[in-house]
Structure 1
């Protein structure tokens, strides 16, 4: 029933990040009326404070490295310095152009009403914004995430930063401590090192990028040692103190590291506090919204998508979930999203791209004797030699069965994850992939050669 001071929509969406805006656009295509509510800019964390600006910085960092190394390619060039004002202008310009396009797409859609302001779920079918109520026959919660910290660790935005602060930094720090060796941590460590900073990563877990295949972690650690990016793993962080010129971090065992600043990169937490979710009977665990496989909360016609749902906190996951829920509400009965089939990319140097199960997870699931793996070294790939990159493509399969995982590390490996996704999600056998023609010379050939080898037909590799 419509509220006296509001409107009724087919769907009210709380949050306009990747999941929320994707749901709005797909619902509008299906001729459903949508209210899209957000307290900040349309596009959410990914566009404004995450994926896009960080990858712009990573590309600028790559250009800096290529300039330093130009002579090894026969090009005479000199890196005269880093102009952070210009780097930030480049980064912000990309964000602004993408935002302008998205904003126009949403605000000019006749089926979407964009509502600016902080929304709160006040009934099972109603979100309130600044005293006005928006009633929905269906509700989608897409309120996103925030940069987490650790108990007792005070973020001041000057010496102790989150990634949001780091993206606005007007200088390259002389030195930096990165607290956390996951995706965000290794990406910022990679950027700052390329731009000229002395960087140390502190990670409590036994290895960097601990969610990736163990061989990938080992290769990244080798590459970081070669780049002189320092890291200390397996020792939990204890405290940080301000010094005259920066900060001093202490890890387990009393070892200390000093630097100009410290970046807190210990993951992201779900933005659900104070939004009225629990008051309406929605189950939360550690702040995350619990749903079934069809992303329904079990309360009324309320769904949840994106970073507030337990699992990988990736923009493309939220995007796909948003489309799924819009189609679910429209009665299209979409196929359930396979969480293991979502591609994962870390854009440090070297890049990491992966799909499916790690070797360890595959053996836990199917038994060690039922799983086989193959590592194809990029040293045998012509394009990788041209790019002067090192790394590998690792395949995990069930013996005499389909591919269970694809794990890649090296320059530009993110561009290969599309084919890897098709291979995994179509449950392809190596023998089937080995029949496909991969263009020469490309890094994509590395994927083809790996499958040739796993199919028993190694050419540029040893079986």
Structure 2
């Protein structure tokens, strides 16, 4: 199959979802991947990190059982080898599942590194048993090469003392102390994990708050919770320099007050964002170029098609408003596959893509923050309810809140924001509320189960609809 209908370059979440949907629509598909299908999310990001965070949740549960509930449990030790073996088994089973799904769908997977030679053709180098292979697509090429962690000048990751999010959980053993640079979702999750595992953690963020892209109340609640857990959160702070030593790293940090803070840690995690992978892709041969941030921007967001007809882009190669999240990549892959098959498909509503940080406590949100809604000229009504105001929130005892931003006078819901235990499992309802342009009264007439954390969501919408029950 040297001339498939669709040629997908990159087998991460955006790439393999494109391939699966295109094949289901009757198109012939070749997917080129130089590493393993599943991409960063499956092998180095979403899945292994959430497996480790679940282990951290179990460790936290032992402490809560002892200190809060009178269950005299103790933690003898963390068997790092057993813990990582379970993580790796979860990843491996998911990997085999993706491979089997692609094979069952009839997608031909070619191992190798692809370089565009024209807008519809690629040369694949390093193909096992073949060396090089030339492929041409009849309908279109889909670029899905993903992203890699950004680094800082002078900090060279070594996989042990200085690590990125790609290798942090694969570094040897559990460190006694960690310095995390970057207070976005990745940095916060890794800070939370290492604190649960007993490390002393310093979290440094250059912006004036952690999770700077989230609602300010989310940042405030999470900062308070992380500090209660003993994490030293430093916002408005910048790394001055770092010296890698035999036993770890010694760094100097400029604090928000202009003071210099010396931090010694066994490990330094650089979590300052990710950058698109386009090196060696041969964009110029196809008449393409990246923007000044390294993204491959589409000219038609309803089709995710570039300035070169027939060349589409999905996943982390896309600039904002695409959020660079795996579940957004799935939706983008579906859209592009359906576009190439000539099937009507609704554009991806990136504003309604839910965002989750899997720290302890978690955060989850969808839609506009209060500040964003006001900046767009909306007059808004806002209601916030602490999770400790509902019985199930008291049971969990982690604090947190639900906040809803809606058009003044009972109008459209612009955003829903949460902090607390398991809010990652609560946000799907709010994604529908925001995505379907619902009003508080639309939600208020539906009954939330009692006692649950989701009750707080129902209570906030009752209040905004003028039917407050437990809120004064």
TM-score band (shorter)? over 0.9
Q: Residue 373 of structure 1 aligns to a residue in which SS?
A: strand
Contact 1:85 1:170 in 2 (8 A): no
2:306–2:313 Cα contact (<8 Å) kept: yes
Offset at 1:244? 4.8
Tell me, yes or no, if structure 1 residue 259 matches structure 2 residue 260.
no
Partner of 2:19: 24
CA contact (8 A) 1:174 1:196 kept: yes
Does 96-105 or 53-62 show the bigger shift? 96-105
Counterpart secondary structure, 1:385 = helix
Count of residue pairs brought into register by the alignment: 454
Select between 430-439 and 378-387 the one with higher mean Cα deviation.
378-387
User: d(CA) in 1 for partners of 2:167 and 2:348?
Assistant: 34
Equivalent residue number for residue 3 of structure 1:
none
One of 279, 286, 294 as aligned partner of 1:273: 279
Matching residue of 2:311: 302
Matched residue, 2:384: 375
Alignment partner of 1:439 out of 440, 449, 468? 449
Are the equivalent residues in 1 in contact too, given 2:9–2:143 (CA < 8 A)? yes
Deviation at 1:29, TM superposition (A): 0.7
Unaligned runs of 5+ in 2: 126-131
CA distance in 2, matches of 1:281, 1:459: 60
Question: Structure 1 length normalisation: TM-score?
Answer: 0.96
Deviation of 1:452 (Å):
0.5
Instruction: Please name the residue that 1:415 is paired with.
Output: 425
- TM-score calculated relative to the size of structure 2: 0.94
Instruction: Give a deviation string over 1:393-415, Cα, whole Å, max 9, x none.
Output: 00001113110000000000011
Alignment partners' CA distance in 2, 1:244 and 1:166? 18
Contact 1:283–1:297 (8 Å) recurs in 2: no
Structure 1, unpaired ranges of 5+: 1-5
Q: Please list, as runs of the form range in 1=range in 2, the aligned pairs for 1:66-145 lying within 5 A after superposition.
A: 66-71=61-66, 72-110=68-106, 112-130=107-125, 131-137=132-138, 138-145=140-147
Conservation of the 8 A alpha-carbon contact between 1:278 and 1:284:
no
Which is worse superposed, 318-327 or 232-241? Answer: 232-241
Q: Tell me how far apart the structure 2 counterparts of residues 161 and 246 of structure 1 sit (CA, whole Å).
A: 11
Distance in 1, matches of 2:13 and 2:401, equals: 31
User: Could you tell me which residue of structure 1 aligns to residue 250 of structure 2?
Assistant: 248
Q: Indicate if the aligned counterparts of 1:10 and 1:34 stay in contact, CA closer than 8 A.
A: yes
Deviation larger for 173-182 or 127-136: 127-136
Partner residue, 2:170: 168
Measured in 2, the distance between the counterparts of 1:300 and 1:379 equals 54
Q: Deviations over 1:293-349 (max 9, x none)?
A: 121011030000000101211000111100010011111121111111100000000
Instruction: Give 2:295's aligned residue.
Output: 288
SS of the residue 1:155 aligns to: coil
Q: Which residue of 2 is the match for residue 230 of structure 1?
A: 232
Q: For the residues of structure 1 that align with 2:92 and 2:413, how far apart are their CA atoms?
A: 40
Q: CA deviation at 1:108?
A: 3.1
Contact preservation (8 Å) 1:273, 1:287 = no
DSSP 3-state at the match of 1:298: coil
